[in-house]
Amino acid sequence: MTTVDLPLLPLGRGTDLSAERGVECPGDLPAASDPGLVARAQAAKEALGDRVFVLGHHYQRDEVIQFADVTGDSFKLARDAAARPEAEFIVFCGVHFMAESADILTGPEQKVILPDLAAGCSMADMARLRQVEDAWDALTEAGIADSVVPVTYMNSSADIKAFCGRNGGAVCTSSNAEVALEWAFDQKPDAKVLFLPDQHLGRNTAVLKMGLTLDDCVVWDPHRPHGGLTAEQLRDAKMILWKGHCSVHGRFSPAVVDELRATIPDVQILVHPECQHEVVLKADLVGSTEFIIKTIEAAPAGSSWAIGTELNLVKRLAAAHPDKHIAFLDKTVCYCSTMNRIDLPHFVWAMESLVAGTVVNQIEVDPETERWAQVALQRMLDLPGRSHKD
């Protein structure tokens, strides 16, 4: 088995277009200090009218989110993109894997634009196709590949989604992971799940929602021979978790939860399922970004919350709900650096280029990858209901 090397490229440098990591952003950007940027963005949006549809993930900066036609979590944005066949351009203020999914779910004549190509996702980069194929070979050698259903988190590259589509699996997001796992375990007698690439979402859903135990889960480490597991361990497991994680949500710790509970009376801890299992175990509520927003909207005035998710969203919630006490579940600043790559200069540049008739930073998935990734995404969109009340 080959272990694939993952050299870290500095963001914004390099030319690995197949990766979620940074590539050069071409063109002349307006200066960030230009006081006319907001007016320029408004003018470009007005000039494009219904030809453009702007999507904004909840982790985007305020300066960009103000121009979004819709905001949402990964699941909602995927559906929103698919529901706009009349828009010629979809400008995706989010990260690369989201723009890829939008390209897969929109028509061939629609163009999806990511204002900064360096807006990748380190978690998505942690599962590369060659590595996943190696893991699948090991499952085949262990005699269990026929009973394994691969499920990938939305936060993965299009070729990993296509791998899941080709092998009878599906995509899930943080708002439907439970339903997706129920679906996967129903696909075959004695089914096992290979969960990519976020071990935490996989473990939290399996143990806290599906009633599996920690002993039912093993972690496949793509940087160790045979994933660091024996064939017997693979055969005994119900959940084979990929060793990937979100570097933003990985920062939240059980110790800070304890500290906040000791210092803020009646505080409720609300976290995203990308957090470590030990943090989620100590939380009061867990759910996707959309779930977090709805929970705070429905909370009574005067209630106290500590939220474990990306800081742009937590700050926006605190500003929108001055009648509630909203704290951040980490002592230090914790933005998603790649989400933050989409700033006003990049947005203005992308929009003004469209007005001038030039399509920049188009995200296009190749037809064969698209075909199978679409199968996996459609299986997700066809799942009944959603696991959270959102």
Smallest gap from Cβ 273 to ligand 13P, in A, equals: 8
Instruction: Tell whether 361 is in a known binding site.
Output: no
CA terminus-to-terminus distance, the chain:
43
Q: Which residues contact 129 (CB under 8 A, 6 or more apart)?
A: 157, 159, 160, 163
Q: Which does 173 bind (CB under 5 to 8 A by kind): ligand 13P, ligand SF4, none?
A: ligand 13P
Quote the least distance from Cβ 113 to ligand 13P, whole Å. Answer: 18
The answer to whether the CB of 177 falls within 8 A of the CB of 384 is: no
Q: Which residues bind ligand SF4 (CB under 6 A)?
A: 59, 95, 121-123, 155, 246-248, 310, 336, 338-339
SS3 label, residue 41: helix
Q: Per the annotation, does 334 bind a ligand?
A: no
150 marked as binding residue: no
Residue 291 or 349: which CB sits closer to ligand 13P? 291
Q: How far is the CB of 128 from ligand 13P (least distance, A)?
A: 18
With CB under 6 A as the contact rule, which of the stretches 6-14, 71-79, 294-302, 370-378 interacts with ligand 13P? Answer: 71-79
Residue 294 beta carbon to ligand SF4: minimum distance, rounded to whole angstroms: 19
List the beta strands (DSSP E) in the chain: 52-57, 70-72, 89-93, 111-113, 148-153, 170-172, 192-196, 217-220, 239-242, 268-271, 285-286, 304-308, 325-328
Distance CA 136, CA 143 (A): 11
Residue with the two structure tokens 């998505």: 124
Q: Identity (one letter) of the amino acid at 91?
A: V
Q: Taking CB under 6 A as the rule, does residue 288 contact ligand 13P?
A: yes
CA–CA dist 2, 389 (Å, integer): 43
176 is in an annotated binding site: no
Say which entry of ligand SF4, ligand 13P, none residue 361 contacts (CB below 5 to 8 A, set by partner kind).
none
State the binding partner of 288 from ligand 13P, ligand SF4, none, CB within 5 to 8 A by kind: ligand 13P
**Cβ proximity to ligand 13P, 276 vs 288, nearer residue:** 288
Least distance in Å: CB of 153 to ligand 13P? 9
For residue 233, the one-letter residue type is Q
Q: Which range touches ligand 13P (CB under 6 A), out of 34-42, 72-80, 221-229, 319-327?
A: 72-80
CB 387 within 8 A of CB 209: yes
Which amino acid is located at 38 in the chain? V
Binding-site residue total for ligand 13P (CB under 6 A)?
11
Q: Does the annotation list 59 as a binding residue?
A: no
Q: How many helices (H) and strands (E) does the chain have?
A: 16, 13
Known binding residues for [4Fe-4S] cluster: 121, 246, 336
